[in-house]
Amino acid sequence: MIYILLSISCSVTVAVLLKLAKRYNIHVLQAVMWNYLAAIILSYIFFRPELAQLVSVPTTLAIAIGVLLPVLFLILGASVRNIGIVKSDIAQRLSLFIPILASLYLFGENFGGLKVAGLVVGFVAIVFTLSRKSSVKAETSSLVYPILVFIGFGLIDVMFKKLALDKSIPYTSTLMVIFCISFIIAALTLGYVVIVRKKKVELINFFCGMVLGSFNFGNILFYMKAHRAMASNPSTVFAAMNMGVIILGSIIGIILFKEKVSKLNYIGIAMALVAILLITLSQKYAV
């Protein structure tokens, strides 16, 4: 579980940094592009992948993840602008349905009573924790954004799991290739923004992106390690990661950003803790 805890910590730190970006007028797209450069540099420093390994990565899967990572960022941003952060966050968290179904039907995991109970409590916790009023009124045509968020985040969880199961080459080599692809996609997108929309590239965004990339690198790395360590129980990783981000994110939101939290939200946070406990116990007791 240590890898899950480390991944949760890095994931919430990334969310906090992105939230602070608006306060300090950081251009998020520029920061995201440099974030992938930081991930590439860290991958090389810590793993020293050989060229032969880099050219032997599972091409289709690496390209799919590499393209989807920055594209999902753009989709999430569009969703927040069109329907608000609350509904977008709900769509992202409820995407847990997709990897859980994949655990059952694609990865052949057996679900005991404790795990089923934990997942049910967990899904209710997601709804309760994210149950907040949104001031953004969405048009019917805008509903495509949360749908894409739901599908996109669900699929990328499943693809990372498949990548973790591939023992043909070190997954660290594949991660470096993925980060390179994501950097290229983000750079092309930023190039369009700079040339067409006349947005200036600023040094502050580079420094912020490097810090962001360090935590994003840790988030993905520890997430992959968790899947490797708990290869026969992917649903545990999916659910514990999701619930943990909700709990820690909510605590930091309350303390650091003074976010208003309702009684229903507090019940949801408590239920998320119960869900993690049940799912953890299911690892020890096959009930």
Task: Look at residues 89, 78, 98, 96 and name the one whose alpha carbon lies nearest to residue 141.
Answer: 78
Where do we find the tokens 């990897």? 99
pLDDT (tens digit, 0 to 9) for every residue of the chain, 287 residues total? Answer: 799 999 999 988 988 888 888 788 888 889 999 999 999 999 999 888 877 777 777 788 889 999 999 999 888 878 877 776 667 777 778 888 899 989 988 888 888 888 999 999 999 988 888 776 655 555 656 778 888 989 998 999 999 988 888 887 788 888 888 999 999 999 999 999 999 988 888 999 999 999 999 999 999 999 999 998 988 889 999 999 988 888 888 888 888 878 787 899 899 889 999 998 898 888 766 55
Cα separations in angstroms, 206 against 51, 157, 210: 27, 28, 6
**Secondary structure, 3-state, 159-186:** HHHHHHHCCCCCHHHHHHHHHHHHHHHH
Q: What is the pTM of this model?
A: 0.86
